[in-house]
Amino acid sequence: MTGNTTFTMIKPDAFAAGSTGLILNKIIENGFKIKALRLTALSKEKAEAFYAVHSERPFFNSLVEFMTSGPIVAAILEKENAVENFRKLIGATNPADAAEGTIRKLYATSIQYNAVHGSDSDENALIEGNFFFNQFDRH
């Protein structure tokens, strides 16, 4: 059985380019409900923890530097079969391989500067959502 929740980040490249509103609109147009939304920024420690699975990859340091370079928008999204449907909407990791109309095809500029994150499993959607949102948060 697949879950109905996924997690996304609008990455620093897309935020800096002013694409946040258009990306959120595309997400909504495609039937996702925004359950939580936050403008924030990653510390080096948080970025390293978020991408720990890639810590041995040659691009790890560059990825952490990029992900800490400016504001990001974190969101929890809801739709049936959310993880798979959202991965389809964002397109391939490398925008050169992303299908027409996908968010990465429209807004990413390279394999690293690829505009958005999307969880790759129900389990990670939960972990990543909890990384940014806590039901007891009040500001």
Active site residues: 117
Q: Which is nearer to ligand GDP, 40 or 59 (CB)?
A: 59
Write a three-state SS string for 61-107: HHHHHHHCCCCEEEEEEECCCHHHHHHHHHCCCCHHHCCCCCHHHHH
Q: How many residues bind ligand GDP (CB under 6 A)?
A: 10
Q: What is the closest distance, in whole angstroms, from the C-beta atom of residue 134 to ligand GDP in the complex?
A: 24
The site map against ligand GDP for 31-70 (x = CB under 6 A) is -----------------------x----x--xx-------
Taking CB under 6 A as the criterion, which residues in 82-111 touch ligand GDP?
93, 111
Q: Which residues contact 21 (CB under 8 A, 6 or more apart)?
A: none
- The SS3 assignment for 120 reads coil
Q: What is the closest distance, in whole angstroms, from the C-beta atom of residue 102 to ligand GDP in the complex?
A: 11
Whole-angstrom CA distances from 15 to 19, 71, 85 are 6, 7, 23
Distance of CA 95 to the CA centre of its chain: 14
Q: Which is nearer to ligand GDP, 27 or 63 (CB)?
A: 63
Q: Which is nearer to ligand GDP, 32 or 103 (CB)?
A: 103
Residues in the site for ligand GDP, rule: CB under 6 A? Answer: 54, 59, 62-63, 93, 111-112, 114, 117, 120
